Structure 1
């Protein structure tokens, strides 16, 4: 059984071969195979404990012929062009960005990336804008906190997902999520405005964060007004 966070990640993955980086007990890749989302998978683990957990889970499931468990750091165990799809979950956005940058330096650039950072995903959106990836889907999953899940795909030219949106708000909260204007996103933005308001003295980083949250809230309120006008 996967929690809501990993179920959301799973929903954005479909590929003949997929690599899950930092899989721990291998729950996600096991379900990807069982549900037919992938034909084969690679599981990468850096530390010995999670590596052994993954090997045992794959062996118990009888899927050793379809899931290859490898020791290594990030994308290092993958050869250029070996896998078209990669997921990274449960890490900080800056850590994930470093893994992707090091992989790109070795020419490991999958066609599709699904990432679920445990914090502000803006560094990943910024990386994608300069690395030849477009944002194709993004979701919010409820859990211990609200988890963003993003799918990037390799593409040429500027990413059209950001067109017409306040740029910093779109990088922080997600261009596709802003267009969707879900109740969960509204809760997140309102919570940020409430949290940052007493901290936002002029010149402090919190002032810039508050301005970004307020821009997102203004966009969402504008979308609500447009929707209400269309209904009338």
Structure 2
């Protein structure tokens, strides 16, 4: 029987078993042999950059009779690894910076490959790199080995690029309900407290307060206390300022109270009756939506009004409408990046000036050119649209403007910013004619489909920063429009 240490056992628990497992920097091929022996996978690759570890791997493979199951490859990271049928990649026992460097610029790992990563040091660096490069940590476990506590991370590519906060950097998605998880977070809490003390002694009060906030958040976790609505509100306000909402809007806390304790949050584009019922059924104490649950004035209150359902069941609602629309890295920026365009200068409709102009819509450029038909197909597949309505401006598309939701009135602004194409929704007949005359390709992908990705991103951001709260996207909030094709 093959014996492996606790770190590798946790790695083995995170293997998908859907194909070939590749162990980068293998240690005597113990992990691949363990996986084969326990029928977690049927084939594996054991790889290392040096000949010595590979010679020891040969001995292990021959000892247990796994010549037909385990292939040895000499490789610097993933350089020589053939991607065919690789379902899982394990990189264990290296520093977080080294693991990041191995994964950097390897495009094929974005095709559904399950990454199992066990950093010995700089786990925070690895977490930041993963989120910033479009990977999502879907599972993370602390593990005790001798007198040390390590973490094992399972990540997959989602395409959502997130700049995580310090809490997420320090603790990731560690499950504090385990002994190892609690000890890991206690260790991080101790480190941050030492940073606070050092900054205070150095007279850097502003910096010390930032780390004290992190320490307070970790203290809530270590003591098993629940977060409150106000903490979620403050986090959202830090990235999408409620004070900057449009005068006609109604964003912020619209039902419930700030002191409500929460363990489960439902995220949605709209708060419909079905979504309100879903929140009740799932035991969610808070809903975060884009569109306000109370928008127009209510002159009477009926039992089936979504806001009434929430109030009757003690469910709070935070709505992030125009603050998230106009935020840096907000709704339109998210759609742009998901579509494969990189942000450049330009705002379609400037509504205010803080440190710099802000408003609705954004502009991005692509490394490749698209025909209008190609981009329409890409948007349809990316957003899950039933249909994409578009007009062909006759140009090769390399620069595009984006405005989520209802943005047909901003075609002229897109033209003025030099865009070859404009992606939005709710385009009117006269606006189509104008676009055709001016030679700009316009794409109407539907209000729901252009905005729902932004709420998915917000859900992932919150889940990364509040690992002790369960965040989930609504399963019943769908495009309300039906189509005949």
Q: What residue number does 2:173 align with?
A: 175
Q: Are residues 1:141 and 2:143 paired?
A: yes
* Counterpart Cα distance in 1 of 2:227 and 2:125: 30
TM-superposition CA deviations, 1:50-97 (whole Å, max 9, x none): 111111111111101000011110001212444121010010000000
Give the aligned partner of residue 62 of structure 1. Answer: 65
- What is the deviation of 1:158? 5.9
Change beyond 3 A, Cα 1:187–1:156? same
Report the equivalent of 1:8: 10
Give, in whole Å, the separation in 2 of the partners of 1:178 and 1:6. 20
Deviation at residue 120 of structure 1 after TM alignment: 2.7
Aligned to 1:131: 133
Match of 1:46 among 46, 49, 69: 49
172-181 vs 39-48, greater mean Cα deviation = 172-181
Shift of 1:194: 4.9
- Determine if contact 1:116/1:149 at 8 Å carries over to the other structure: yes
Cα distance change on mapping 1:158 and 1:46 into 2, 3 Å: closer
Q: Do the aligned residues in 2 keep the contact of 1:189 with 1:216 (CA within 8 Å)?
A: no
Alpha-carbon distance, 1:154 to partner: 2.3
What residue is the counterpart of 1:185 in the other structure?
A: 184
Which range is displaced more, 169-178 or 90-99?
Answer: 169-178
Query: Contact 1:136/1:152 (CA < 8 Å) preserved in 2?
Result: yes
Q: What SS does the corresponding residue of 1:63 show, helix, strand or coil?
A: coil
- 2:107 maps to 1:116: no
Checking the alignment, whether the CA contact within 8 Å between 1:133 and 1:153 is kept in structure 2 is yes
Aligned counterpart, 1:88: 91
Q: Which has the higher contact order (CA 8 A, sep 6+)?
A: 1
2:20 matches 1:22: no
Query: In the alignment, does 2:78 pair up with 1:79?
Result: no
TM-score, normalised on structure 2?
0.41
Task: Please tell me whether the aligned partners of residues 44 and 69 of structure 1 are also in contact (alpha carbons under 8 angstroms).
Answer: yes
Question: Given the alignment of the two structures, is residue 37 of structure 1 paired with residue 35 of structure 2, yes or no?
Answer: no
Where in structure 2 are the equivalents of 1:95-114 lying within 5 Å? 95-104=98-107, 107-109=108-110, 111-114=113-116
- Which secondary structure does the structure 1 equivalent of 2:148 belong to? coil
Question: Which whole-Å deviations, capped at 9, do the CAs of 1:159-191 have from their partners, x for residues lacking one?
Answer: 7xx9xxx82111221135469894223422333
Contact persistence 1:21–1:44 (CA under 8 A): yes
TM-score by length of 1: 0.81
2:193 touches 2:215 (CA, 8 Å); kept in 1? no
Instruction: Note closer, same or farther for the CA distance 1:20–1:62 as it changes in structure 2 (3 Å cut).
Output: same
> Would you say the 8 A contact 2:140–2:174 is kept in 1?
yes
Distance 1:26 1:208, change over 3 A: farther
Contact 2:100 2:129 in 1 (8 A): yes
Q: RMSD of the TM alignment (CA)? A: 3.2
Deviation at 1:133, TM superposition (A): 1.9
Call closer, same or farther: CA 1:216–1:77 in 2, change over 3 Å. farther
The 1:202–1:145 alpha-carbon spacing in structure 2 relative to 1, beyond 3 Å, is: farther
SS at 2:100's partner residue? helix
- d(CA) in 1 for partners of 2:151 and 2:125? 13
The CA distance in 1 between the partners of 2:219 and 2:81, in whole Å, is 43
Q: Which residue is 2:218 aligned to?
A: 217
Higher helix content, 1 or 2? 1
- Runs (5+) with no aligned partner, structure 2: 229-260, 263-485
Segments of structure 1 that go 5 or more residues without pairing to the other structure are none
Aligned residues: 221
